[in-house]
Amino acid sequence: MTSAPFPTPWLTCPRPNPRARLRLFCFPYAGGSTMIYRQWQDALPAEVELCPVQLPGRAARLREAPFTRVEPLVAACAEALGPYLDKPFAFFGHSMGATIGFELARWLRRHGGPQPRILFVSGRRAPQLPDTLPHTYDLPDADFIADLRRLNGTPTEVLEHPEMMALLLPLLRADFELIQTYSYTPEPPLSCPIAAFGGVEDEEGSGPFLEAWREQTTGGFSLQLFPGDHFFLHTARAPLLEALSRRLHESLRTAA
């Protein structure tokens, strides 16, 4: 990032673009890092600067303790990203990242900060819906790993590599605790548009669960489903990025 007043470990930018008209901040799913989004820049509009957010506890921030509650993480994100909100921006988050992006937009509103041009929520049920799934973050290792295998988001070679799992389990448990202990507090709807994405085979992130995000905005809502399960953002990456780019183009046109 070259146009903000200081560097920060919270952000990576694969291709800094001081002339960009909009920044896209991307938040990861549980256990994920900025690597999720490393190949997205080429598929996005040239006027968009891709800014994946690196949360503590992963990659270059491995030695930092990961957050286990949404509220302090969002406050820390707001402080770290504040200097980079000096031009129009959008938030994209998948699963856990959708909750982070949503709550960050609300935090900024409560504190008189700028609002995203558009909020993209992916693979995550609307926050006002009750979460009926049991907590898994405190399960014994064998049961926790079995649940990870069921979710289909961790490569089999990683799940079957004891040394890698020993490094990854504390982060995964922290992220699962963060999202499984999240408690929604009602507030007025956001004024920015919300675009929801889901996988047709994802029971928790499709259909009515995503449609309910409509209640969280007065600025327009859209919903699009893609082939795949909870991790469709990998298996259906091309059509997802096409849809994302189309919405970003629309946002740039309305900002002109």
Residue 11 DSSP label? B
Q: In the sheet that 48-52 helps form, which strands lie side by side, from edge to edge? A: 48-52, 22-27, 89-94, 119-122, 194-199, 221-226
95 included as an active-site residue: yes
Catalytic position from the list 95, 122, 206, 251? 95
Nearest to 169 by CA among 139, 133, 135: 139
- The most distant pair of C-alpha atoms in the chain lies apart, rounded to whole Å, by 54
- Centroid of chain to Cα 247: 17
Tell me if 133 sits within 8 A of 105, measured CB to CB. Answer: no
Residues 74, 46, 218, 130, Cα dihedral to 10°: -50
Residues labelled as active-site residues: 95
